[in-house]
Copies of this chain bind each other. A is one copy, B any other.
Amino acid sequence: MAQRTRADALSRERIVEAAVELLDADGERGLTFRTLTERLATGPGAIYWHVPNKGELLAAATASVIGDALTVATTGSPWEEIRALGIGLFEAIDRHPWLSAQLAVQLSRSPWSSVTPRIFDSIGRRVSALGVPEATWFTATSALAHYIFGAAGQNAANARVLRSGGTDRAEYLRAAASAWEELDPAEFPFLKSIADQVREHDDREQFLTGIDLILTGITAQGRT
């Protein structure tokens, strides 16, 4: 077969789509140019014609998956919409756990290109509608964004442990709580004291409580 027919022609979109599938299936180590060329039945040169390098491919995969999570109904109060945005990102990271490390890498490599501006704008738009002084907008947006990524990533990590091991959720939490209780109280007094809270908490609910906490801070600080 010389050139491809139009139906199976390679394109940036098809490559990114395949990359996301490989990442979902096996995490970051699941995506290599070998697995990618195999799945797309082509050679590395063909992929490099559409994509400059692996970093850009990962960035494109991240942008593609985050994009959907940022489109949220605009029918609620700003507070409600921020919660909805948080849940959307929370679930995206839960479905695609590789997003967590990838977002951090992108943020720390090129903070103001690629996907970051869209996330900041999406959150910031609602923050500016909360009715707090303009001087607080940027810091408030940044606090929300970092909390969402961090907490969602941590949840995804827990979820991954749960899926990979055969253990169920209750058992996992019980094991974690017991492990904390056996920590040296001189070195880890706090973890020890909250060990039993971990036993019966709901991840989603706790995540939303954190968003409410920050929103409370934003509005309270804005008022003083």
Contact B138 A147 (CB under 8 A): no
Segment touching B, from A3-11, A18-26, A37-45, A190-198: A190-198
Contact A105 B101 (CB under 8 A): yes
Give chain B nearest CB distance to A169 CB in angstroms. 15
Question: Taking chain A's interface residues, is the majority helix, strand, or loop, or is none over half, making it mixed?
Answer: helix
How many copies the complex holds: the figure is: 2
In the bound complex, CA of A215 to CA of B220 (Å): 11
Contact with B along A127-162 (1 / 0, CB 8 A): 110000011111111110111011101101110010
Cβ-closest chain B residue relative to A125: B190
Give chain B nearest CB distance to A90 CB in angstroms. 13
Cβ-closest chain B residue relative to A201: B138
Complex interface: chain B residues within 8 A of A135 (CB): 197
Contact A139 B209 (CB under 8 A): yes
* Given A139-B213, A220-B216, A156:B191 Cβ within 8 A: no
Partner of A143, one of B138, B194, B213: B213
Give chain B nearest CB distance to A93 CB in angstroms. 9
Complex interface: chain B residues within 8 A of A206 (CB): 138-139, 142
Q: Which of A202-222 contact B (CB under 8 A)?
A: 206, 209-210, 212-218, 220-221
Contact B157 A150 (CB under 8 A): no
Sample of 20 A–B contacts (CB below 8 Å)? A101-B108, A101-B109, A107-B157, A111-B157, A112-B176, A120-B190, A121-B187, A121-B188, A125-B190, A127-B190, A134-B194, A137-B197, A138-B197, A140-B213, A146-B149, A150-B150, A212-B221, A213-B217, A216-B216, A217-B220
